[in-house]
Amino acid sequence: MESVFSKIAKGEIPSYKVAEDEHYFAFLDINPLAEGHTLVIPKKETDYIFDIDETEYAGLFLFARKVAKAMCKVIPCERIGVAVIGLEVAHAHIHLVPIRSIYDLDFKKPKLKLDAEKLKSIAEKIAGAMRDA
């Protein structure tokens, strides 16, 4: 069965899309640790990130770097923290989280509750910064 993230990449399930190209897709995490918390995925479905073939793995991180640079331009933060967990959704993904301290990357923290309008405007801001890059 297809993962929820494959369905998101195909547009079969809605998401707050930030960026995409032929192979990769970035969208806001629906339960964000911080405003702008973004997930970057390969469109091709692989569960465990270290099982991805070398070329696609390198491409995933290069794509994530572009997204992170765009995030930094429009989300107030000191830098973008990176995490790979993958215990909840079995489709490889990189978490990009705007941070100011190590505690901002604590996944046990209560998640933010942002309404649809706020999420949409954050996604649009990052998408705009991607286009301007």
Give catalytic residue positions. 93
Q: Rounded to an integer, what is the distance from CA 129 to the centroid of its chain?
A: 15
Instruction: Pull the structure tokens for residue 128.
Output: 């705009």
Name which of residues 71 to 90 contact ligand AMP (CB under 6 A).
Answer: 85-89
Contact between 106 and ligand AMP (CB under 6 A)? no
Residue closer to ligand AMP by CB (options 114, 130) is 114
Contact yes or no for 81/63 (Cβ under 8 A): no
For residue 107, the one-letter residue type is F
| Whole-angstrom distance, CA of residue 69 vs CA of residue 132 | 11
Instruction: Pull the structure tokens for residue 133.
Output: 């890059």
Contact between 116 and ligand AMP (CB under 6 A)? no
Instruction: Pull the structure tokens for residue 23.
Output: 């192979």
Name which of residues 9 to 68 contact ligand AMP (CB under 6 A).
Answer: 15, 29-31, 39
Shortest reach from residue 59's CB to ligand AMP, in Å: 20
Residue closer to ligand AMP by CB (options 11, 133) is 11
Instruction: Please give the size of the binding site for ligand AMP, defined by CB under 6 A.
Output: 11
Identify the burial level of 39 via C-beta atoms within 10 angstroms of its C-beta, where 0-12 means exposed, 13-18 middle and 19 or more buried.
Answer: buried
Instruction: Pull the structure tokens for residue 79.
Output: 């830098």
Shortest reach from residue 39's CB to ligand AMP, in Å: 6
Binding site for ligand AMP (CB under 6 A): 4, 15, 29-31, 39, 85-89
